[in-house]
Structure formats: C-alpha cells, structure tokens
C-alpha cells in the first residue's frame, strides 16, 4: 500500500507553452510568470536544443483556451500543448467547517 501512495500519478491534459529558447531567457520567463501568477504552476523543461516553459495543469482544452486568452497580452506567441499534468491538489477543509451543528 505504501508503494501505491509513493508512485507519481499523471493525467493526460494540457498546458500553455509561453516560451521556447535558451536557458537564461527561459528561467527569466518562468520567474516573470510566477511573479505575476503565483497560483499557476510553471514548468521548465529541456528538449534539445531548446528550453521550454509550460504553465498550468489543465484537464480539458476549454480551460487551456481560457488560460491562453488570459495570458495573451503578457506572453505573445504562446500556444496550447497536450502534456502529462499533475493531479490537482485537494482542498483542505477545516474540521470546524464540516462538523454538524
């Protein structure tokens, strides 16, 4: 059972690619993005010879299109890519909020 919990699970989904190029510019682009949108995850990856920055963990194309439109002004040339995404984090509800009255 412990092995099951330790395994990383991925889900097929979408991300918005905001940058493709050299490493220093990719890191700067990721930093800029995270400063503007701290609640949206940003991933830096390497695919020879370029580094790419992809953002979001979106389960469907409609959500990806919505995010793309939100980011269009600040990150020109972005596009949607199918990718393996992280499972969404579960929201923790305080015990007091769930207790019957």
Write the pLDDT tens digit of every residue in 8-25: 677 899 999 999 999 999
CATH architecture of 10-83: 2-Layer Sandwich (3.30)
Residue 72 has what pLDDT?
94
Neighbour-count burial of 56, counting CB atoms closer than 10 A to its CB (0-12 exposed, 13-18 middle, 19+ buried): buried
Report domain extents, the chain.
Answer: 10-83
Question: Which pLDDT tens digit goes with each residue over 34-52?
Answer: 999 999 999 999 999 999 9
- CA 99 and chain centroid, separation: 34
């Amino acid at each position: 059972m412990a092995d099951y919990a330790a395994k990383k699970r991925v889900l097929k989904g979408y991300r918005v690619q905001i940058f493709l190029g050299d490493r220093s510019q990719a890191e700067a682009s990721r930093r800029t993005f995270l400063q503007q949108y701290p609640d949206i995850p940003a991933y830096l990856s390497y695919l020879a010879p370029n580094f790419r920055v992809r953002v979001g963990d979106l389960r469907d194309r409609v959500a990806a299109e919505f995010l793309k439109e939100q980011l269009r002004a600040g990150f020109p040339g972005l596009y949607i890519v199918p990718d393996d995404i992280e499972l969404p984090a579960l929201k923790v509800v305080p015990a007091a909020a769930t207790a019957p009255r």
